[in-house]
Amino acid sequence: MKDETVPQEERKQAVARVHDQYLYASDLEGIVSPDAAPEDSANLMRAYINNWINKQLLIDEASAKIDFDEAEIQRKILDYRYSLIAYEYKSYYINQHLVKEVSDEEIQQYYDENQDNFPLKQNIIRGKFIRVPKDAPKTIRINKLIYSSQQKKMEELRTYCFNYALMYSLEDSVWINFDDIIKNTPLAEIPNKVDFLKRTKYTESTDETSKYYLLIKEYKKTDDIAPLEVVRDQIVDIIINKRKVELARNLEKEVYDKAVKTNAFEIY
| CATH code of the domain in which 206 resides | 3.10.50
Q: What band does 41 get if pLDDT is binned at 50, 70 and 90?
A: confident
Q: How many Cα neighbours within 13 Å face the side chain of 28?
A: 22
For residue 22, tell me if it sits in a domain.
Answer: yes
For residue 246, tell me if it sits in a domain.
Answer: no
Average pLDDT of the residues in 79-97: 96
Last-in-domain residue among 203, 220, 237: 220
For residue 255, tell me if it sits in a domain.
Answer: no
Spatial distance between the Cα atoms of 83 and 248, rounded to a whole number of angstroms: 13
Helix %, strand %, coil % of the chain (to 5): 55, 15, 30
- Domain containing 175 equals 121-220
Which residue spans within 140-207 are E strands per DSSP? 167-169, 176-177, 202-206
Residue 2: the pLDDT is 44
The predicted-structure confidence for 240-266, as pLDDT tens digits, reads as follows 999 999 999 999 999 999 999 999 988
Write the CA distances from 193 to 197, 205, 217, 232, integer angstroms.
Answer: 6, 15, 16, 26
**1: pLDDT strictly greater than 80:** no
Average pLDDT of the residues in 173-183: 94
Whether the Cβ atoms of residue 245 and residue 252 lie closer than 8 Å to each other: no
Last-in-domain residue among 184, 205, 220: 220
